[in-house]
Amino acid sequence: MYILASHSPRRKELMKQIVSEFFCVDSDIDESTSLNLLPLEACKDISKRKALAVRNKYPKDVIISADTIVTLDDLIIGKPKNEKDALRILKLLNNKTHQVITAYTIIKSDKILTNYVITDVTFNDNNDRLLQSYIESGSPLDKAGAYGIQDNDKYPIISGYKGSLENVIGFPTKEIKADLKKIESMN
């Protein structure tokens, strides 16, 4: 059986593009212990620890975990604490290009594969009224970087991206699917 080590509704929807039958288990790890690492290393560490925590409970299943972070000049930008913090984050990213990193880990038996995808995302030069309206929608409050690219049609804060759209949503399906095939073919 396949297990997604997450309860994220966005990851759950994207996981359906990889395998049709799976269930979700929350890893319940302390992510703060990794935040003193460089962004890519922190992301990979959190992803791996999520997968290992779930594997301890389900050793016979295939575990897939992921962690997504937003970085600007090697600064990790997490989820906003509140609306005021969301505005601070969005203004920090305003009219700049930042990186979205998703690290994912796949565990099958004693095989562990951790990989990552990086996408560049560029914000428009947004006015405060648009940013405040977006924050009032509630959508940014549970997302790293205080935004979801899937909201861009209604709140056009992003001018473009270079790389995987699914990565920005938090689950790079094409890459995970390829690595899942790779790990399943190992003896």
Query: Catalytic residue numbers?
Result: 67
Report how far residue 8's alpha carbon sits from residue 11's, in angstroms, rounded to the nearest whole number.
Answer: 5
Q: What are phi and psi of 172, to 5 degrees?
A: -70, 90
Rounded to whole angstroms, the Cα distance separating 96 from 185 reads 41
Which H or E run includes 10?
helix 9-15
Reduced to 3 states (helix: H, G, I; strand: E, B; else coil), residue 158 is strand
Instruction: Tokens for 49, please give them.
Output: 């620890």
Give the β-pairing of 111-123 and 75-77. Answer: unpaired
